[in-house]
């Protein structure tokens, strides 16, 4: 089950990465791609935690057994993802 979850996560990340330049083109954003990538990563993190996390894992973010550390680590990694996505596109 873990392998399937990790693969699904990477597929979602690849699809989100393909939509990023489309979103930039539609909105005609001309700012720093790395900055916009970081914002995109934060948006993906927020949407994931707000909508998907509890439904898939059954674990509440508020009462998570490891406290807020998993959420903070997830945020940091989504920021890195967004930065690298912007760097790749620049």
- pLDDT more than 90, % of the chain: 52
Contacts of 17 (CB under 8 A, 6+ apart): 85
Q: Which of 50, 37, 54, 41 has its CA nearest to residue 12?
A: 41
Calpha distance 5→63 (Å, rounded): 22
Instruction: Quick: pLDDT tens for 70-84.
Output: 888 989 999 999 999
pLDDT band at 59 (very low <50, low <70, confident <90, very high): confident
pLDDT of residue 30: 81
pLDDT of residue 70: 82
**In this structure, are residues 49 and 74 in contact, taking their beta carbons and an 8 Å threshold?**
yes
Read off the pTM: 0.85
Calpha distance 87→11 (Å, rounded): 20
Instruction: Quick: pLDDT tens for 23-46.
Output: 999 999 888 999 999 999 999 999
Number of Cα atoms under 13 Å in the Cβ half of residue 28: 0
């Amino acid at each position: 089950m873990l392998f399937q979850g990790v693969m699904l996560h990477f597929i979602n990340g690849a699809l989100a990465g393909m939509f990023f330049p489309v979103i930039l083109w539609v909105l005609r954003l001309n700012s720093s791609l790395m900055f916009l990538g970081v914002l995109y990563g934060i948006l993906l993190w927020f949407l994931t935690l707000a909508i998907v996390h509890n439904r898939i894992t059954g674990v509440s973010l508020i009462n998570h057994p490891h406290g807020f550390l998993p959420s903070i680590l997830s945020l940091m990694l989504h920021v890195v993802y967004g930065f690298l996505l912007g760097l790749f596109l620049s």
